[in-house]
Amino acid sequence: MDAAGCPSSTVIGVLVADSNQMEIQLLVSALRRRPEFRVISCRMDLDSVLEAAQEGHIQVALLATPDVQGNGSDMGIIRRLHLSHPEIAKVVLIDDGDRGAVTNAFRSGARGVFCFSEYPFRLLCKCIHCVHRGQIWANSAQLEYLLEMVNQVPALRVVGADGRKLLTAREEQVVALVADGLSNREIASELNLSEHTIKKYMFRIFDKLGISSRVELVLYAVSNSDHRDAEWMAGVNAS
């Protein structure tokens, strides 16, 4: 039995992706001293991560990103990996376990978050085993963040100058996902709809708001919207 309480004969394929070469080398070296892990590494860029996931027989991916607070390229990489390889359990390595970092990681498809400033390396090994078994790795405070997240939909309430609601509930959710950086295909997967249906929603949204591009839509959403509490669930038909 290993420190995580799992048979040492169970070998788990682990991918480590990080933009910091020194940190990635130290982490990979430490993990390779554990006989239950077979470790490969790559840089934290989309092509490298997807190629490693495709060819490396990976069960768990450790993804280090300084951008977990935002919606930039690193979080997009994690979302793309999740959409392309939902069978891989993702753990996001974060520097700060605050609400925004945790919720962004789980929204992007992570099954766990791990903060080295709070926990030692031996618990990272336990984390890998836990997510490999299909469990969630989060402490009590992080679980509370997730419960709060479940009670909100990723929707933006888009209003006109007079405060009048301009879009349907489903259209508002599409706007929120566009603002979050997702493509039409990714939005379709997120909402369990066809890409053709998402394109129809986009045409209707553009027509209602009098805009003609995704960039204009994001700028409009930032200037004329607010988040609202859950009223319906993703995947449920809403006009």
Per-residue pLDDT of the chain (239 residues; tens, 9 = 90+): 333 444 445 899 999 999 888 888 999 999 999 999 999 999 999 999 999 998 878 999 999 876 554 445 677 888 889 888 999 999 999 877 678 788 888 888 899 999 888 889 999 999 999 999 999 898 888 888 877 765 554 566 676 767 777 888 888 888 888 877 788 998 888 888 899 999 999 999 999 988 888 888 877 776 665 555 434 334 434 44
CB-CB neighbours of 8 under 10 Å: 12
All CATH 3.40.50.2300 domain ranges of the chain, comma separated, are 12-148
Under CATH, to which class is 152-229 assigned? mainly alpha
Strand partners for 60:
14, 89
Does pTM top 0.75 for this prediction? no
Question: Do residues 146 and 115 touch, judged by C-beta distance below 8 A?
Answer: no
Tell me how far apart the alpha carbons of residues 181 and 124 are, in angstroms, rounded to a whole number.
Answer: 30
- 172 phi and psi angles, rounded to 5 deg: -65, -35
Q: Which homologous superfamily does the CATH classification assign to the domain defined by 12-148?
A: Response regulator (3.40.50.2300)
Question: Do residues 178 and 218 touch, judged by C-beta distance below 8 A?
Answer: yes
All CATH 1.10.10.10 domain ranges of the chain, comma separated, are 152-229
